[in-house]
Amino acid sequence: MLGLAKRAGKVSTGAFICGKMIKSGRARLVILARDASENTKKSVRDSCKYYRVKLIEASDMAELGHATGGGERAVVSVNDNNFAKAISDIYILSEAEKG
């Protein structure tokens, strides 16, 4: 789903660009890699909390990069309500299956 959103032009990648998307109000969902640096995690978590953007911590940087068709990425923002909801729903289902 993330790759489809990327091809539709509804995804931003990288901590700096995603930070701008969060602050501008365009980000609807932010996905943070579990292996991102502690500074990046804190910055993204704080921004998402302050601007009330849903945050998911999932995957690792290599997998996020692969899903978006690039190199390793620590942060990905989904900038469309429909894609954000679909990705969030898939994440919730996969977490429920894990137990």
Q: What is the pLDDT of residues 2-33, one digit of tens each?
A: 999 999 999 999 999 999 999 999 999 999 99
pLDDT for the residue numbered 95: 83
pLDDT for the residue numbered 37: 96
Multiple choice CATH, 2-98, 3.40.50.300, 3.30.230.70, 3.10.20.30, 3.30.1330.30: 3.30.1330.30
pLDDT in tens, 42-93: 999 999 999 999 999 988 999 999 999 889 999 999 999 999 999 999 998 8
pLDDT for the residue numbered 69: 87
pLDDT for the residue numbered 99: 66
**What predicted TM-score, i.e. pTM, was given to this entire model?**
0.93
pLDDT for the residue numbered 58: 86
Amino acid making up residue 29: L
For the chain, the structural domain boundaries read 2-98
**Apex CA 63: angle with CA 62 and CA 66, to 5°?**
85
pLDDT for the residue numbered 59: 82
